[in-house]
Structure 1
């Protein structure tokens, strides 16, 4: 197995081991809290954890691919399905992180409006719109990548997504790239260039409000700092390189070789999201503290 494949496999395993139990825990805690007393932040976190669970549930397919030295030995249908289940959660995560940042800002800046009884309806509608937008947007690059090439292609004789039958989503015909690259650029705008400034504005404003108000406890301020740090880590490490590869590919009219590295980094998204869960959910912090205490009991340091 090559060094690149080993790195991919290691990142996938680490992401799964860290992300899956935390996502399941966050999902279950949010369900319990929403059934008891729904509030907007719990609905957004529920959807973020659901997005992570979609991603992590099908991550073992990518582990198998990495273990096979990036050679796809599974059915082609699984390749097609894994493409959707790998990328769609990345898009939804960026929007739900943005929604969480806006919700936290509104909670502090406009506390009276935040208590409106209609806020649950608005929050639910926002979540539905996000999922619809993600599904609809994902169709365009998916369709472009799987479009057949009619006529003679000067660069390759490949006529479908799997350029070499054993490779999955790695090589494309000139016709496929012509349709795929603009779709990727649209994804950059929709899921990165628009959400990032919104997150920055909301969190900068939120921090300024917390600094001005002495009523907020130090622990709450630290949790807000952790929330901001966790969100920026996701955008800087996971989303920025991945979207940069889309921009570079559109400018150079090619599928960049280094794009595979950005895909590996984007996987870490599910590793950083537990920081968001921990900073937002009191129940999450309580459960983690109980688990940590139990570990110290059985594993003395």
Structure 2
């Protein structure tokens, strides 16, 4: 039986999976549609890549659920331990750099609108996305390397392991410095870039008299959600790297920090909502479908259903109107 702490971790994973998967699938459909249009904006390529990173994490969450349900004993094939850890942590750090790239794009779009419109190319978004994936996957190969250097100590009965845990002193000499590099290169630098860009982005949006109140609210919401991602989701896990480097051992609260990193997959859809009118329309249509389904189940299809449909149609048409969305949508 899992302990109370592990049961809470399992519950958190289940909630993240149930909320994050449908929201990211809706966003995926919207961004694929935008990217398939002629001359897609770099922001949509970056947002599509961020959605794919979130979906990778969400698809690997069931393995983390099984691990938490088993008191963090890995009863699955050992190869799955390495593959799950590699994909899971790579998706986290890929999201970090993609968020930084999105912040740069947003800042350039409002600070230098004319020059940016003339020079933006879809290939820039592709390059930024590829760099993010290569950086994250390249650094996270340490997960596979340590796994096959017997970095996870096998239990006495020989049937189970603790996945990516219980390092020996010799192995910690390799793992802890690499984790410090992860903290510096894959977290601290992109976080500093993101904070600077969104600070300037919000300042420009709030000081320009021609910017409407709705766009200002979306700009502030975009900055707040991104900052929450870094501080609440990515912060604790990466601080554990710093603590581990100082104490020379892995902190005992790393499992809880990993759960918070997974929460990023549920928060990103909020960022998508503030970033793209296509996602707002997709979410609106999804809510409309749920309302119709609920009305059908309750047998209320008369005047009330028609009024709800008319309201939703009006909202959809409003969202469908041409919108610059910070000059890049």
TM-score, with structure 1 as normaliser: 0.91
Contact 1:6–1:67 (8 Å) recurs in 2: yes
Q: Per the alignment, in what secondary structure is the counterpart of residue 36 of structure 1?
A: coil
1:290 Cα shift?
A: 2.7
- Tell me the residue number matched to 2:19: 18
**Based on CA coordinates, which of the two structures has the bigger radius of gyration?**
2
Contact 2:103–2:197 (8 Å) recurs in 1: yes
Q: Per the alignment, in what secondary structure is the counterpart of residue 118 of structure 2?
A: coil
- Tell me the residue number matched to 2:199: 204
Aligned equivalents of 1:118, 1:106: Cα separation in 2: 10
**Could you report, residue by residue, the CA deviation over 1:146-171 in whole angstroms, capped at 9, with x for unpaired residues?**
353xxxxxxxxxx4424433321121
- Tell me the residue number matched to 1:156: none
Q: Per the alignment, in what secondary structure is the counterpart of residue 75 of structure 2?
A: coil
**Could you report, residue by residue, the CA deviation over 1:194-239 in whole angstroms, capped at 9, with x for unpaired residues?**
0111111111111111111111111111111111111111111111
- Match among 152, 163, 173 for residue 161 of structure 1: 152
- Match among 98, 113, 134 for residue 96 of structure 1: 98
Q: How does 1:1-301 map to 2 (within 5 A)?
A: 1-37=2-38, 38-143=40-145, 145-146=146-147, 148=149, 159-164=150-155, 165-297=160-292, 298=294
1:293 Cα shift?
A: 3.5
Q: 1:178 to 1:291 in 2, by over 3 A?
A: same
Contact 2:27–2:282 (8 Å) recurs in 1: no
Q: Per the alignment, in what secondary structure is the counterpart of residue 26 of structure 1?
A: helix
Contact 2:151–2:166 (8 Å) recurs in 1: no
Q: Could you say what the CA RMSD is over the residues aligned between the two structures, in angstroms? A: 1.6
Report the more deviating stretch, 206-215 or 115-124: 115-124
- Structure 1 alignment gaps of length 5 or more: 149-158
**Could you report, residue by residue, the CA deviation over 1:138-192 in whole angstroms, capped at 9, with x for unpaired residues?**
123542x2353xxxxxxxxxx4424433321121111110000000000001111
Aligned equivalents of 1:136, 1:34: Cα separation in 2: 26
Aligned equivalents of 1:125, 1:293: Cα separation in 2: 37
Report the more deviating stretch, 164-173 or 11-20: 164-173
Report the more deviating stretch, 222-231 or 132-141: 132-141
- Tell me the residue number matched to 2:302: none
Q: Per the alignment, in what secondary structure is the counterpart of residue 28 of structure 2?
A: helix
Q: Per the alignment, in what secondary structure is the counterpart of residue 259 of structure 2?
A: helix
- Structure 2 alignment gaps of length 5 or more: 299-329
